[in-house]
Structure formats: structure tokens, C-alpha cells
Amino acid sequence: MFPLTEENKHVARLLLSTGTCPRCIFRFCGVDFPAPYKLPYKELLNELQKFLEIEKDELILEVPNPPPKKIRLQELEDGIDGTDNLSQNGEGRVSVIEDGSTASKNSNLNVCNVCLGILQEFCEKEFIKKVCQKVEASGFEFTNLVFSVSFPPQLSVREHAAWLLVKQEMGKQSLSLGRNDIVQLKEAYKWITHPLFSEELGVPIDGKSLFEVSVVFAHPETVEDCHFLRAICPDCFKPAKNKQSVFTRMAVMKALTKIKEEDFRKQFPCPPNSPKAVCTVLEIECAHGAVFVAGRYNKYSRNLPQTPWIIDGERKLESSVEELISDHLLAVFKADSFNFSSSGREDVDVRTLGNGRPFAIELVNPHRVHFTSQEIKELQQKINNSSNKIQVRDLQLVTREAIGHMKEGEEEKTKSYSALIWTNKVIQKKDIEFLNDIKDLKIDQKTPLRVLHRRPLAVRTRIVHSMETRYVDEHHFHLYLKTQAGTYIKEFVHGDFGRTKPNIGSLMNVTADILELDVESVDVDWPPAVDD
């Protein structure tokens, strides 16, 4: 059933006569359900022609010779623009820079003066198929997708002009048309294209999907349509560092709500002029949201930093905990990059023993995302077989939200350490036994000199919950400590030139230093243990 009624005839005839396409006519007539928009374009034209009782030779949207710049999709083998400009790079991004316009093989239509061809050429199955070919060639693994589009901001100006025209004509009949009565272009476009994408790719469209296919349109011919708005509403067009142009869709929309109707009409034609060419496709981009892998690591080397150790551009050590783990994950997940985080960090010369330190890795734009628990176990084994400096356990996929557990109440958590202590004075076993009786010792730590270059100067109060000693010889003993997370253990031993008070040296009235330090446990109950 044709969606327009007798009362729509006047508006439909007016818009058609000024160069507006059938689907945009539906939008201005308030057709707010998908079915009519999904009809093939030629069928729509024929139905509209019958409805308006227009002969074929009167239908101004039909012309015998299409503009020569249009590129026929039937000729395209490798890309939308026929010159292989639509090329895929390693990041799953496909870019198109076109000299002409993109049109279907059956293109014999004038370009809509409102949507600039968006609801004409770019809704047809042939265009959707070409986009889907690029999606499938991008190498991403996905079971659903979100489809997003970016339209040129001048479409808002043209729609505003068409609205003022229709509003004026309807006013003559004592009818009204509010700005919100018009079906949004993006809404209509998705009504048409979503089912076509689902059918072609065999997966549902899901607004919550982590896999996104985005298409960016541009229309160079009409790019100056927005420029008059800046002179009238300069406050709406302020430069932003991350924007190439001040004429963003949001800025244009804001200006259109401020400008008076009479001022708009003086500056911009109502109806808008018909363009010569349809929009161009600037970019088709495929991207997958980050996935997260967590686990615990043990570090057995006293010559391995947690993260790459680079000073003034010069690498000091060949590897790091981060790289020994992440390099394998990057390769298997086929991700572009990663971000490593952990529950605290140990110095390059400190081992991490016991159950290990919790860590999480964000894998950015992964191309592979589906793994069985067995595959994750095999990946863990591969990491562990690759180096004797670290071992990983409890490797698992987690959500972004779950990572918060690793950081929750971080300073209230406890950590246990063992240290080998040297003293300048000769000591006996009885000289260290009093340390075993000290509980919940409060210490004040001024930012250590060794980290002052990367941490702000402050005095932090920390608690040493308990200590246990084991005598070795006249100048050495083992010290086992349980402390509040964030305690600087080395400074608690030697005092850092009086910047940590009290310290082992001051408590024993000796000069003390730390020779070896091990992290014995990080008391964070995350991630959950995984059965071997």
C-alpha cells in the first residue's frame, strides 16, 4: 500500500518538482515506518508517479544522460571508485578518495537536492555488496555488527531549507510541520540498509556489538553550503584541536536552531539547488572494540623490568615482563596495539614469587576475538615455554568492568615481601628479635629520590602490619614483611637519607641496606583462579 495520502499530494508534488527524491519526500510527509523506504528506487519512482498522476516525460528526476563523472559499480572489481583507491591497510581501515562520484550501474537519476544521493545510490544492494566485500576482506572475526554512518554537515542546511519551503506551503493550507515531524535521514538510511547488511553478511545488526562498520560520506561540491552560518552565529563555530573543520554536524545544528527564518532565507535558497553529483565515500572503516585478557605473572629474574626500560630514547634492557606476555597476545589476537596494567609494580631487580601479581592487557582493535578455554590454556603454555624469566597463570578473557576489581581499594590491600638485609654493625640474633613484636607500625615516606623524576613530591603514610626475622650471620638477616600496598620497602630498610621515618636502620640504630627483595604475595583476589 502506498504510504502517502491525498493531503500529502501538494507537498509531494512541490518537493518532487524542486528536485527531491521519493524517500526524502516520504520523510517530509512523516512516513515513519520502514517498509516503503525499502522498496527498490525505480519502483518507488513509478509508484510516486502513479500517485501524483505524472507522465514519465514530466518526471524531472529522470534524465536521459547521467553525468559523465559517475562511476559505475558494475565496472568495479577491487574498489568502489574503480581505480583501486579503496584499499585495505593493516588496521582494518579502508579509505576512499574519489575524484568523481559513486553511482550505481542503473544511475539515470538527478541527484536529490536534500540528501545529495544518500537515499538514492547508497541504499541500493549493489553498493551494500561492495561495502560487505570490504568488510569480509578486512579479516575481522565477528558474529554481529553495529553500522554507523557519517553524513556531510551541509545535509542539515539543505534539510532545513526544504523544511522552510514545505512549512510555508503547508501554512497556506492552515497546516503545520514541526522540525521534529520529519523522519531523520540517518533513521531512514538504517531502515533500508540494516536488513541488506544482515542478509549479505549473515549476521544481525546489534547496537551493542563491539564490531563496527562505519561509512563516511562527503560532498565537495556543496561544502560551502554551511559557511554563511559562521558569519551569523560565530559562537557556534569555535575551533577544536581534534576537529579538522569548525563545520561539524553538531555546530551546524546548533546554528540552525539559533538563526532566524528570514535571515536563513536571505542567505540560502529555499528550495536548495540541485547538485550535479552524488556524495563521495571518503572512508569505509572496520574496527573492533578492545578485548581484555587478565592473569597473574611470576617474575624470576633480577634483571628484568616490568615495562620497557628506555631512557632518553635508549633502551637499557632487551625485554620486559610486559613484552614477554603481550607479544604473544598481539600475535594471536591479531591486535593493532595493547595497554598493560597491573596491581602495582616491582623494581627491575625484584622478583615476584608466590601466586604472582595480577595483570590485565587491553588488546586494541583485535581481528580475532573468539577462543575456547583450551586455546587460552595453550596460549598460556606458549608464553611460559618462551622464557624462563616469567611464568603466567590464570590467563583468561575478562570484561572492561572486571578490571576495576584489580584497582579497587588498591591502597587498602596488603602485600608480603622477603628481604635480605645487611647491617654495618655486628649483630646477634637477639638484636633483631624485637622487630617480630612490632605490629601495625605507621611510617611516613617522602617520595623516594629514585622515583622523584616521575612521581610528585609528597609525604605518604603507610602501615607495616607485621615483621618476622631470620638471623643469617653477624651482618645479615632475612626480613619478612606484610605491609600496606604502596609501601616503598627499600626505603623502609635504608631510610632514603632520612626521607622514610622510622626505618629499619633507625629502629636498630645501625646503617642498614637491602641486598635482595622478593614480592611473596599480592593480596588481590582477582582474577579468579583457573583450573589447570
As annotated, the active-site residues are 347
Integer Cα distance of 128 and 122 in angstroms:
7
Integer Cα distance of 122 and 147 in angstroms:
14
Lookup: cell for 502: 622510622
Rounded to 5°, the CA angle 381-321-312 comes to 150
Q: What is the Rg, in whole angstroms, of the alpha carbon atoms belonging to the chain?
A: 34
**Which of 418, 443, 430, 420 has the alpha carbon at shortest distance from 354?**
418
User: How many of the other CB atoms lie within 10 Å of CB of 523?
Assistant: 13
Integer Cα distance of 474 and 476 in angstroms:
6
User: How many of the other CB atoms lie within 10 Å of CB of 431?
Assistant: 17
Instruction: Spell out the long-range contacts of 449-452 with Cβ–Cβ below 8 A and sequence spacing 24 or more.
Output: 449/496, 449/497, 449/499
Integer Cα distance of 179 and 167 in angstroms:
9
**Which of 301, 291, 283 has the alpha carbon at shortest distance from 332?**
291
Q: Are 524 and 356 in contact (CB under 8 A)?
A: no
Integer Cα distance of 518 and 502 in angstroms:
22
Instruction: Name residue, grid cell 577462543.
Output: 371
Alpha carbons within 13 angstroms on the beta-carbon side of residue 161 total 25
**Which of 348, 339, 360, 352 has the alpha carbon at shortest distance from 309?**
348
Q: Which helix (H) or strand (E) holds 489?
A: helix 489-494
Lookup: cell for 504: 629499619
Q: Are 213 and 286 in contact (CB under 8 A)?
A: yes
Q: Which helix (H) or strand (E) holds 444?
A: strand 439-446
